[in-house]
């Protein structure tokens, strides 16, 4: 660690050229420009055209956005993506924290559990999705158990709402480990003394959790909330795998990103309209981020 009294470095550094910082940043900027900025801008431009996959489009002004307002599928998609955020984010903010508390202590064999909880994160979403589809099938393991205990079969994969809830459960299950790691890092920074002082004052485990742990990891909770809400709003794979390419019965489980994929791809894809949808997804995502961060600031004041 350098202290204020440390002697100045003795080796002379050559004066840098004014362009040097840019040269260092060039590879990164180039990648950002080509793979993020350019696609983003051209999506924006396309959203004002009636471009199709194989046919160049004309400028149509706000026609795509006006059409959105009257498109039932758009509202279904918006509803499902929003429900996804509401269903998944609270669980992903709270459950990984509890999990992190559980595996924080260094007791023999704990590494096994830490790795076990992290495994779903590493697993391929397609593989995981298929496994859950088999488990939840009308004749799958879960229904066999339910039938054996006398509950009867449940149409996890044929009911519109159960499908969405099942997909949410998979998202939560798969995300637990990832956010657990983030919380573990945050928990390591909670001073032991605070816990000890609270214990001396007679605080029980629950009280210590609420008064010491939660305030200490609050900013991490906000981070997890922001990350998971953005991810949840853009959900595609889980719902696509479990509800099928058609998005569940009558397409009622379609999310916004699935709708983008369905309208915009293929030989007859409506690239312009799908771009307009993407722009809406972008705007909502940014709004969601701002909302979460703002809530954080308000709490602080």
Partner 1 sequence: MPTLRRALAAAAVAALVLPLGACGSGDGGGGSTDASGKVEGDITFQTWNLRANFKPYFEGVVADFEKKYPDTKVKWIDQPAEGYADKISADAAGGTLPDVVNVSPDLVAPLAKAGLALDLDKAASSYRKEYLDGAWASHRIPGMTGTYAFPWYLNTGPLFYNKTLFERAGLDADRPPTTYDDLFAQALRLARETGGKVATLANVPTVEDFGRYGVQLMNKEGTGFAFNDAKGVELLTKYKELYDAKALDPQALTATPESSGKKFLTGAVAMNPGSALDLGNFKKQAPGLYKNIGITDQITSTGHVNMYVMGVMVNSRTKHTAASVAFAHFVTDAQRQMSFAKKVAIFPSTAGSLDDPYFTEQDGTDETRVRVAAAKSLKNAVNYTPVLFSEQMKSALRNEVAKALQGKETPKAALDNAVKACDTLLRQQG
Which chain residues interact with partner 1 by CB under 8 A? 35, 38-40, 42-43, 45-46, 50-56, 121, 125, 137-139, 155, 157-158, 163, 174-175, 178, 227-228, 231, 234-237, 243-246, 248-251, 257, 260-271, 274-275, 278
- In terms of CB distance, is 185 or 197 closer to partner 1? 185
In the complex, what is the shortest distance from the CB of residue 68 to partner 1, in angstroms, rounded to a whole number?
Answer: 14
In the complex, what is the shortest distance from the CB of residue 77 to partner 1, in angstroms, rounded to a whole number?
Answer: 13
- In terms of CB distance, is 65 or 236 closer to partner 1? 236
- In terms of CB distance, is 88 or 217 closer to partner 1? 88
- In terms of CB distance, is 80 or 213 closer to partner 1? 80
Looking up tokens 């194989």 gives 54
- In terms of CB distance, is 159 or 296 closer to partner 1? 159
In the complex, what is the shortest distance from the CB of residue 175 to partner 1, in angstroms, rounded to a whole number?
Answer: 5
In the complex, what is the shortest distance from the CB of residue 122 to partner 1, in angstroms, rounded to a whole number?
Answer: 9
In the complex, what is the shortest distance from the CB of residue 114 to partner 1, in angstroms, rounded to a whole number?
Answer: 17
Two tokens at 77? Answer: 């998609």
In the complex, what is the shortest distance from the CB of residue 39 to partner 1, in angstroms, rounded to a whole number?
Answer: 4
Whole-angstrom CA distances from 221 to 182, 184, 227, 228 are 9, 12, 10, 10
> CA-to-CA distance for 281 and 256, rounded, in angstroms?
7
- In terms of CB distance, is 52 or 208 closer to partner 1? 52
């Amino acid at each position: 660690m350098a202290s204020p009294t440390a002697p100045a470095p003795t080796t002379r550094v050559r004066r840098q050229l004014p362009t040097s910082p840019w040269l260092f940043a060039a590879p990164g900027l180039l990648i950002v420009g080509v793979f993020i900025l350019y696609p983003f801008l051209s999506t924006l431009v396309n959203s004002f055209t009636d471009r199709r996959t194989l046919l160049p489009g004309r400028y149509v002004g706000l026609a795509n956005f006006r059409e959105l307002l009257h498109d039932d599928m758009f509202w279904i998609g918006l509803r499902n993506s929003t429900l996804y955020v509401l269903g998944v984010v609270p669980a992903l903010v709270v459950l990984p924290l509890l999990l992190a508390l559980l595996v924080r202590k260094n007791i023999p064999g704990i590494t096994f559990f830490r790795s076990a909880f992290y495994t779903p994160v590493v697993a391929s979403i397609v593989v995981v999705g298929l496994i859950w589809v088999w488990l939840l099938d009308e004749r799958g393991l879960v229904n066999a158990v339910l039938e054996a205990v006398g509950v009867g079969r449940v149409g996890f994969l044929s009911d519109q709402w159960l499908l969405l809830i099942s997909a949410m459960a998979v998202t939560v299950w798969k995300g637990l480990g990832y956010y657990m790691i983030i919380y573990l890092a945050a928990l390591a920074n909670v001073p032991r003394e605070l816990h000890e002082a609270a214990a001396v004052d007679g605080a029980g485990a629950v009280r210590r959790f609420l008064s010491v742990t939660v305030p200490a990891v609050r900013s991490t909770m906000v981070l997890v909330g922001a990350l998971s809400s953005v991810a949840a709003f853009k959900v595609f794979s889980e719902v696509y795998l479990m509800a099928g390419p058609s998005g569940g019965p009558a397409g009622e489980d379609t999310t916004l990103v699935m709708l983008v994929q369905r309208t915009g791809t293929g030989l007859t894809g409506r690239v312009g309209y799908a771009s307009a949808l993407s722009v809406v997804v972008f705007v909502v995502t940014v709004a969601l981020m701002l909302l979460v961060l703002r809530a954080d600031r308000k709490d602080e004041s």
